[in-house]
Amino acid sequence: MIHRTLGAHIERWPVRGAFTISRGAKREVEVVVARFDENGAVGRGEATAIYYHGESAASVLETIVSHRTDLEAGLDRMALQEMLPRGAARNALDCALWDLEAKRSGVPVWRLAGLPAPRPLETAFTISLGAPERMEADARAVATLPLLKLKLAGEGDIARVAAVRRGAPGARLIVDANEAWTGRDVAAEATALLPFGVELIEQPVKAGEDHLLDGVNSPIPLCADESCQDRADLDRCIDRYAAINIKLDKAGGLTEALALAAEARAAGLELMVGCMLATSLGIAPAALVAQGARWVDLDGALLLAEDRPQAMMAEKGILSAAGPALWG
């Protein structure tokens, strides 16, 4: 007989310094942890609220506990996809159910999902938005890392990218406009970044205004982030973007993220796998989706002042695979 209990709570983790994008700065992140205890096995999942969807840690927690009866009665992952919409609450629960199945069966999640064994990943490291001189100094401090991701804001972006290139002349660069190029000439902005070796531009225009990219011939590939949450958004991305950024909190868990990755590849889109600010517990499931992605941006835990025990380690920009004591 199955005896399952659900626990869920909010945790607060300090950010190292501050994490700044065009929408503001954060000095701590609130994550929601869901936990299933079933016949001696424990499964955990972590999620970060998607603030630009109006989610908060409190609302995510409320959603999780409001479904306690069904979840404790043995609801499985497939039924979960029908019960909850995409978003952070479903992500925490979906990942906890994957972890529970792995712990209960003794079979790792990658094998349960029919994936190859995970390998270490080269991940981007984010340079927060700031004045060019500040971003140059931040880039210089991590100049030996292989891949840097710059947060941009529209006005003054060329100076920011030039400054980071001075600070880290050998690093590969990708940039995230965070919708700040709405109303700007995207092709011209991208052309101006060519001398600095930028290889990808994330979310140049506001989500929902992707038609502004119709006919835009960008010399640097464009990547949908806020414009692509799950498979329902793929059609509007095709022919406008060259790539999509998959995040488990947006997609609503590992189950949907894997399905989204498969359909995106079939549609000819390149893959980037990213994350919100999170501990290694939130990063571990995303690392499975990131196997084989062209760009990996899983530095959410690296930007925190501290991390969990059994954390995923990073050395010279290479992120280790998660151990089963952490997740999966």
State the 10-residue block means of pLDDT for the chain, 328 residues long: 92 82 72 97 97 93 98 96 98 98 98 96 95 97 97 95 98 96 96 98 96 97 97 97 98 98 98 97 98 96 95 94 96
pLDDT of residue 245: 98
Instruction: Retrieve residue 181's tokens.
Output: 């190029």
Left if phi > 0, otherwise alpha if psi is -120 to 50, otherwise beta: which for 310?
left
Containing 91, the helix (H) or strand (E) segment is: helix 88-105
The model's pTM is 0.94
What is the Cβ-side half-sphere exposure of residue 218, based on CA atoms within 13 angstroms? 25
pLDDT of residue 51: 87
What is the Cβ-side half-sphere exposure of residue 219, based on CA atoms within 13 angstroms? 13
Instruction: Retrieve residue 169's tokens.
Output: 């002349």
pLDDT of residue 328: 96
CB-based contact 264:271 (threshold 8 Å): yes
Instruction: Retrieve residue 243's tokens.
Output: 């790539």
Nearest partner of 197 among 148, 145, 142, judged by Cα:
148
Domains of the chain: 4-108 (3.30.390.10), 121-319 (3.20.20.120)
pLDDT of residue 27: 85
pLDDT of residue 18: 63
Distance between CA atoms of 16 and 309, rounded to whole angstroms? 18
Cβ count within 10 A of residue 27 = 12
- 3-state SS assignment for residue 174: strand
pLDDT of residue 184: 95
CA–CA distances in Å: residue 271 to residues 129, 134, 246, 302: 24, 30, 7, 21
Burial (CB count <10 Å: 0-12, 13-18, 19+), residue 289: buried
- 3-state SS assignment for residue 326: coil
pLDDT of residue 69: 97
Catalytic residues, which ones?
151, 247
Distance between CA atoms of 84 and 74, rounded to whole angstroms? 15
Distance between CA atoms of 136 and 246, rounded to whole angstroms? 28
